[in-house]
Every structure is written in C-alpha cells, then in structure tokens.
Amino acid sequence: MRNAFIRALEAAARSDPRVVLLTGDLGFKIFDPFAAEFPGRFINVGVAEANLIGVAAGLALGGMRPFAYSIAPFATLRCLEQIRNDVCYHNLPVTIIGVGGGYSYGHNGPTHHALEDIAVMRVLPNMIVVCPGDPVETELAVAAAAIHGKPLYLRIGRAGDARVHESAPEFRIGEAITVREGRDCTLVSTGGILPVAVAAAARLSEARISCRVVNMHTVKPLDDGALRRSFEETGALFTAEEHSRIGGLGSAIAEWAVANDRPGPRHSFGADDCFASLSGSQAYLRERAGLTAEHMAATIAAKLGRRAAC
C-alpha cells in the first residue's frame, strides 16, 4: 500500500499545487521521485512528530493541503494532542498517513504495531478515519483525501499487501464497498485484513454459508445505509480488523447498533487487549490473534449453528 500511496500522492500533487508532503524522517528512497518533481513541497521535519503535525496544521492554515507521513503509532500517538488541538479543533485539511496498520511491522515489535490507532483517531471530533483494504483502494483513498478538505487519518499497510480489487471500484469516503455478495451473514472488514475476510467468505461458501463481505474502509463516519442493508438482508454481522477489539471497527458498529436499536455484531475479530509477547512476522501475529480465514470461517459457522459444516 505504501507504493500505491506515493504514486497517488504524486498524481494529486500534479493537479493541486497546494499538496505538500511532510515526513517524520521515514520513507527512505520512496519519496525521492516526489521530492525531485515537486521541489520545496517535500519536507522532512526530522524525527519530531509533534512538530510534524503542528507544522502541517500551520501549512493548512496558510492554505496548503499537507499530508503528514510516519509509521502509524508514531503518527497518531506521539503527537496526539497536536492532532486533537491543532488539526481537529481547527477542522483543517490535514491528512495524516499512518503506514504499517496492525501488525505490518511484525518483528519490529509492539512499539511499531498499530493496534490502537483507529480507536484513538476515531474519538477525535472532526476526524475522518479511512483504512483502505488493498493497494487499489489506497490510491483511490489518497485521491479522495486530497480533495476532501477535512482532517483525515489514512491508515495504510506497508509492502506486499494483497490486491483484492481486480479493477478500480467506485470509491467515496464514507461509502462502504460490498466486495462479495451474501445472504446468510455479513463480515464487515476494515483495512489490510480485507483479503483474509474475503478468503474466510470463500471458505464459508464451501460450507454452503453465503457470507457477504463489506469493506468498511471508512470507519468514521460509518456507512449507515450499508449497515442497515446488511442487518436486514443477512441478519448476522461479524467484524474483522487488524486492531484491538477495543475501540475499532467492531466497537464502532456496536455503538452504531446501540444508537439504532439493533443487535450488535455477533463476533468481532481483532487483537486481544495485550502487547505481542513474542517476536513475529505479520502472518504469525495475525494467526495468534485469530485473524486467519480458517479461524474466522470456523467461528462464523459455529455462531450460525453450523459448526460441523466448516
């Protein structure tokens, strides 16, 4: 997703001279073409995330459209008050790019894992939270963010994220994408776990369970219509995210259910409330968190009373 992000940002910068890219000293070499094509509009502020966001806010006050880039936990937590006060309170068109959603930085350890970022960004007034599901969506999300004009947190993966969409889908911030149709249940996914959710639905299909997959790439604001339709047409909702089960997509949909007098998700797939105690690759850590197609399919089947089938 990282390469998709920078390609799309180069395109956005070509069409809008207000687009500037700031980094907190991360993104070795990948920004070289941007810096060469747009001199002065690539700024490495150094290892200083508070300043990264404060400067981005000032640039936005001055009429620019800054994109501030760092590894997801650094881009969201180290500078949380700057995001809250400088960006969100002023309702400024700053896009914060968190690279490495979930366990993308596997062996780098919990300091680099992003399992709280959606929760923390989601609670901020005025903030929009977008977690593309694959590189295709990432490109579309960057293009949308560049013209959106509001505070926006864009949580992307790292490298090697599987492609889900064969062609570019219609992408609008706040509008979920139905990736796979289904009648018996809906698996609502956000972020880079989307290919796993799609694979889970495929496994369920083999067991004759028709599982819809809705990619809720925008966690805030949620797509109210897509959730209503999924409840009405498929009955049971499940959620999947590479994020703590506290505060992320599952929580957001549970809050939505309370506000709309509906039953909540039957199960939320996500990380336990703990730091990874062992070093591991993204695949390993996903498996330990139950974020595999096998585990999701088996759990959904069991919840639907079809234990034997899957």
Partner 1 sequence: MIADVSTLEGCARKVRADVLRMAHAGKAPHVGSALSCTDLLVALYWRVLRIDPVHPENPQRDRLILSKGHASTAQYAALAERGFFAKSVLEEYARDGGRLGEHAGPHCVPGIEAATGSLGHGLAIGAGLALAAKLQSAPYRTFVILSDGECYEGSVWEAALFARPALLDNLVAVVDFNGWSAMACTFETLHPLADKWRSFGWAVQEIDGHNFDQIVAALESTPYEEYCPSLIVAHTVKGKGVSFMERDLEWHYRPPSDDDLVRALREIGA
Rounded to a whole number of angstroms, the minimum distance from the CB of residue 61 to partner 1 is 6
Q: Residue 16 interacts with partner 1 (CB under 8 A)?
A: no
Q: Which of these segments, 39-47, 253-261, 271-279, 299-307, binds partner 1 (CB under 8 A)?
A: 39-47
Residues annotated catalytic, as ranges = 49
The Cα–Cα gap between 228 and 223 comes to 9
Q: Which DSSP state fits 259?
A: H
CB 263 within 8 Å of CB 214:
no
CB 183 within 8 Å of CB 210:
yes
Rounded to a whole number of angstroms, the minimum distance from the CB of residue 55 to partner 1 is 4
Other C-beta atoms closer than 10 Å to the C-beta of 214 total 26
Q: Residue 54 interacts with partner 1 (CB under 8 A)?
A: yes
The residue within the footprint of partner 1, chosen from 7, 41, 150, 303 (CB under 8 A), is 41
Structure tokens at 45: 């502020």
Q: Please, which residues have CB within 8 angstroms of residue 54's CB and are 6 or more apart in sequence?
A: 79, 82, 86
Write the burial class of residue 189 (CB in 10 Å: 0-12 exposed, 13-18 middle, 19+ buried).
buried
The residue within the footprint of partner 1, chosen from 13, 56, 194, 237 (CB under 8 A), is 56
Rounded to a whole number of angstroms, the minimum distance from the CB of residue 73 to partner 1 is 18
Q: Residue 45 interacts with partner 1 (CB under 8 A)?
A: yes
Q: Which residue, 66 or 191, has its beta carbon nearer to partner 1?
A: 66
Under rule CB under 8 A, which residues in 96-125 are in contact with partner 1?
Answer: none
- Residue given tokens 């797939």 in the structure block: 269
Q: Which of these segments, 87-95, 131-139, 195-203, 275-283, binds partner 1 (CB under 8 A)?
A: 87-95
The Cα–Cα gap between 11 and 14 comes to 5
- Binding site residues, partner 1, CB under 8 A: 20, 40-41, 43, 45-46, 48, 50-51, 53-64, 66, 81-82, 85-86, 89-91
